[in-house]
Amino acid sequence: MSMPGPRDGGLARLRFFHRDPLGLFQSLIRDFGPRVQFRMGPWTFFLLNESESVGQVLAHHRPHFHKGPGLEPSNPLIGQGLLTSDEDDWIEQRRALAPVFRPQNISSMRPWLEEAVDQSLQNWEDGEPFDLESRMLRLSLTLALHTLFADPSHDDWIPEIGSDVTWLMDHFYRRSRSVWRFPYNVPGFNRRYHAHAQRLRRVVDRLTPTTPPFDTVWPHVSKERERRYHQTLTLIVAGFETTGHAMAWALDLMARHPAVESKVLQESGQDVFPTPETHPWTHAVLLESLRLYPPVWLLSRRAVHDVTLGDLRLPERSITLISPWLMHRNADVYPEASHFRPERWLGWKPESPYDFIPFGAGPRRCIGEHLALTEALMAVSRIVNRYRLIPTGPRDIFPGLTLGASAPMWVTATPRAAARGG
């Protein structure tokens, strides 16, 4: 059975995608339903926006698909890492890293997380506007270095590391949308890429890990130098922007909804490490911000051969697109889907696990999900407890490799004691 969808206009649609990918997806679903076949340029795509088909691709038939365009295994920086590897290599790396991301190990990281956040908050200016997104990205990178790599001694590197990773993520984004993808090793091309990549390799060589009371990545990555670069830098690249964006969107949404902020503020006064059980409103805010602004807004899979999913046939090399951003706006699952309603998550979750997929789904679900939520819950609670954030201007999204803001998220931070007149 073939899917409904437009049968012409491939070049115009490719231009539409480059200009406004989420707008294109919305229009296709509106006009043709939750499963759409279409062309962009010379390529055939299948856009899936209902939980059963999404589950088939991400979970039940996962071995029949490889990662789609963008982060290719040929990437000389992270191509051998967990994000881009497939099959046996991916399984081996996933199993090796699993002890680092177990809940018990993450619980042992809590004092290090608290110390890193407290140090970061010491530098917040009173009344001076700053870019909330940039600040949260820096905090996210700090937390990764303090926990995954157990190196709390080189915080002065973080702006440089963040700048290199941000440039590379933008490069991967532009490359994924380019018809002309020159191989990375062609002389004369990709010079800036290699310069940024080389600086990050030097960062890995300069890390001086301590011996914390928890498991870090170092015993679990390859001893072979090049593979070690790929595996460690993948963890930085994959976790840095996603967690940072998640925290920024959550704080910005709360600042614009004082009634919700007051409930989170009340929870933040508890003298306990935040968990979903002790801080249900804060946790609900994070889930709702991940619903509205999932950092990974697009998942793509390429069929390695002809694949049959029930009544659907996906040809070899065809590309399947799944957008968490679009899935999370299904009004049948989420009443008032375009509105910020964190109370929906209090004692409720979607019936299908594929209706809420900010961390992906199936075997390739993000290995760092629990760590990311632990970091975000603790950081957001501490920030709200100490500061009242006042946003300036509207926000618009930019769907790069991760879902960020299209312009700086300017805010001012007023200490709570000053805000209360104390």
Higher-confidence position of 249 and 394: 249
Give the C-alpha distances (Å, rounded to integers) separating 177 from 14, 41, 89.
Answer: 9, 11, 27
pLDDT band at 1 (very low <50, low <70, confident <90, very high): low
Rounded to an integer, the average pLDDT of 95-102 is 96
The proportion of the chain whose per-residue pLDDT surpasses 70, expressed as a percent, equals 96
Phi, psi of 129 (to 5 degrees): -60, 145
pLDDT (tens digit, 9 = 90+) per residue, 253-280? Answer: 999 999 999 999 999 999 999 999 999 9
- Look at residue 208 in the predicted model and tell me its pLDDT: 84
pLDDT at 250 over 70: yes
Higher-confidence position of 336 and 176: 336
pLDDT (tens digit, 9 = 90+) per residue, 287-324? Answer: 999 999 999 999 999 888 998 888 888 999 889 999 99
Q: Rg of the chain's alpha carbons, rounded to an integer? A: 21
Identify whether the C-beta of residue 385 lies closer than 8 Å to the C-beta of residue 281.
Answer: no
| 98-102, 150-154, 395-399: least confident range | 150-154
What end-to-end distance do the CA atoms of the chain give, in Å?
A: 68
- All residues at 6 or more sequence positions from 360 whose CB lies less than 8 Å from its CB, including other chains: 58, 296, 299, 366
pLDDT band at 361 (very low <50, low <70, confident <90, very high): very high
Identify whether the C-beta of residue 85 lies closer than 8 Å to the C-beta of residue 102.
Answer: no
pLDDT band at 422 (very low <50, low <70, confident <90, very high): very low
Exposure string over 173-191, b if 16+ CB within 10 A, otherwise e: bebbeeeeeeebeeeeebe
Amino acid at 8: D
The pTM (predicted TM-score) of the whole model is: 0.93
Give the C-alpha distances (Å, rounded to integers) separating 213 from 99, 107, 110, 111, 320.
Answer: 13, 10, 10, 10, 43
- Other beta carbons less than 10 A from residue 140's beta carbon: 25
Largest CA distance in the chain: 68
pLDDT at 131 over 70: yes
pLDDT band at 406 (very low <50, low <70, confident <90, very high): very high
In this structure, what token pair is assigned to residue 414?
Answer: 């007023």
CATH of domain 49-419: 1.10.630.10
In this structure, what token pair is assigned to residue 248?
Answer: 């920024």
In this structure, what token pair is assigned to residue 48?
Answer: 């899936």
- Look at residue 360 in the predicted model and tell me its pLDDT: 94
Domain limits, the chain: 49-419
Rounded to an integer, the average pLDDT of 212-237 is 91
- Other beta carbons less than 10 A from residue 250's beta carbon: 28
- Look at residue 89 in the predicted model and tell me its pLDDT: 87
Give the distance, in angstroms, between the CA of residue 88 and the centroid of all CA atoms in the same chain. 24
Residue 394's SS3 state is coil
pLDDT at 389 over 80: yes
Give the distance, in angstroms, between the CA of residue 76 and the centroid of all CA atoms in the same chain. 21
